[in-house]
Amino acid sequence: MRRSPRLAALVGALLLGAAAPALTPAAPATAATTLTMRGADVSSLQRSLDLGAKYYTAAGTAADPLDVLKGAGVNYARLRIWNNPASGYNNLAKVLIDAKRVKAKGLALMVDFHYSDTWADPGKQYKPAAWASHGIAALQTDVYNYTYNVCTALKAQGTTPDSVQIGNEINVGMLWNDGKVVNNNFTNLSLLLKAGYNATKACNGGTKVIIHTADADSQANARWFYDGITAKGVAWDITGLSYYCMWHGTLSNLATVITDVRTRYGKPVVLAETAYPFTSANADGEANSVNSTCSGYPATWAGQAANFTAVQNTARGAGAIGVFYWEPTWYAVPGNGWDPANINGTGNQWDNMAVFNWTGQVNPNVVWTP
C-alpha cells in the first residue's frame, strides 16, 4: 500500500499495447471453501508500541494487539521489509524481532519484500540506494542474495517464513527502470522473479512464493501481467491481489478476477491487502490516503466491518484461500509517520482505516472468518 494517486490502472492500460501472449491453460486450482489465510499486515506495529501506543479490547481492557487480532480470527501476520530505510524500522533487524513476536503468538508469517528502501507500489518501484547503479545482471544477484539472506536469518532464529512476496504490487515490474515492463517485454522482470523464487526455495522449500499485483480491478490487466510472466517461465505458488473498493471497483468484478486468475494459472489466490475507513475525519495534520467510501458502506465502525465481511465473502465465494487487512493497528500515534525518511515529522495517512480507533480501542464488529 501507501501508493501515489491511482496510477495502476492507467499504467497497466498504457502498457497493454499488443495482445497478451498465448497461454496454455493450467490445471485449475481447486476452489477453496474456507479462508485458511486470515491475515493482518502489522508492519507499523513495533514502531507504535515503541512510542507507547496502547491497544484495547472492545470491552476496554488493555491487551497485546496481536492477541486482540487473534481473538477476532487472525491466524497470519504480514511484515514488509525494506532494505535500508532511513527510519530504522521495517529493516531486517526489526523484522527479526517482529517475526519472533508473531510466531510466539502461534501466527503464520508472510514476509513482503519491497526490494527498496521505501514504499514500492504500482506508481513507484525505487531501487535500494545500495543497488542504484546496478544493471539487470547485478540485480539478479542482489535479489537472490538478499532474499536468501533474509530468509536464512529468519530460519536460523526459528521463525522461517510460511510465505514470501517477491515484490509488492508489481503491476508493471519492480526495481525500476531495469525491472520495469516496457513494450510488453517481461524478460528483465522474469529474471528478477526467478532469482527471488529460487532463493526462497533454496532457503526453505516449503515457503510459498507469492507474486502480488494490485490488479483486482481488471481481468485484462491481470491477464496481461500473469500471462507475461508465465510465458517467460516464472514459477510461483500463490497469486496475490490488492483490493480496495474505492480504487478497484465492485465486488462482482473482484469475484470475476479472482475466479479467472485462479482457474487460468492453476494457483491459489489470496487478497494480500484490503481495508476500509471507519470515519471520514482525520486524526492528525497528514491528509488521509482514503477520503471516499463505497456504495452501501458508510464510514462508520459498522460500515467498515460490513465491507470487510463482504470482501471476505466475495473472496471465499470465488475460491480464494485468504484475505489480509492492511495495517489494522496503525492508528494515529505521534512519531509513527508514513515517510521512513521523516518518520517523526510526518503524520499517519491511515488513521481512519485502522481497525483500532484513535485511542486504541478495537472495532468490535471486525472479524476474520474462515
pTM of the model: 0.93
Task: State the number of CA atoms in the 13 A half-sphere of 284 facing the CB.
Answer: 24
DSSP of 153-188: HHHHTT---SEEEESSS-TTBSSTTTTB-BTTB-HH
- Residues 240 and 211 sit within 8 Å (Cβ to Cβ): yes
- Active-site residue, 286 included: no
What is the predicted pLDDT for the residue at 283? 96
Report phi then psi at 177, rounded to 5: -95, -10
**What's the chain's length in residues?**
370
Q: How far apart are CA 13 and CA 19, in angstroms?
A: 11
Give percent of the chain above pLDDT 90.
91
Distance in angstroms (rounded) separating the CA atoms of residues 117 and 97: 19
For residue range 169-180, list pLDDT tens digits in order: 999 999 999 999
Look at residue 19 and tell me whether its pLDDT is greater than 60: no
Check 121, 162, 178, 273 and give the catalytic one.
273
Q: CB neighbours of 313 closer than 8 A, spacing ≥ 6?
A: none
- pLDDT of 8 > 70? The answer is no
Task: Please state, rounded to an integer, the average pLDDT across all residues of the chain.
Answer: 93
Is 227's pLDDT higher than 60?
Answer: yes
pLDDT of the residue at 27: 64
What is the Cβ-side half-sphere exposure of residue 231, based on CA atoms within 13 angstroms? Answer: 16
pLDDT at 26: 66
pLDDT of 31 reads 78
Q: What's the pLDDT tens digit per position in 290-304? A: 999 999 999 999 999
Once rounded to an integer, what is the mean pLDDT over residues 235-253? Answer: 98
Cβ distance 338 to 350 under 8 Å? yes
Comparing 10-19, 173-182, 187-196, 241-250, the range with the smallest average pLDDT is 10-19
User: Which residue in 117, 169, 217, 286 is the catalytic one?
Assistant: 169
Is 17 a residue whose pLDDT tops 60?
no
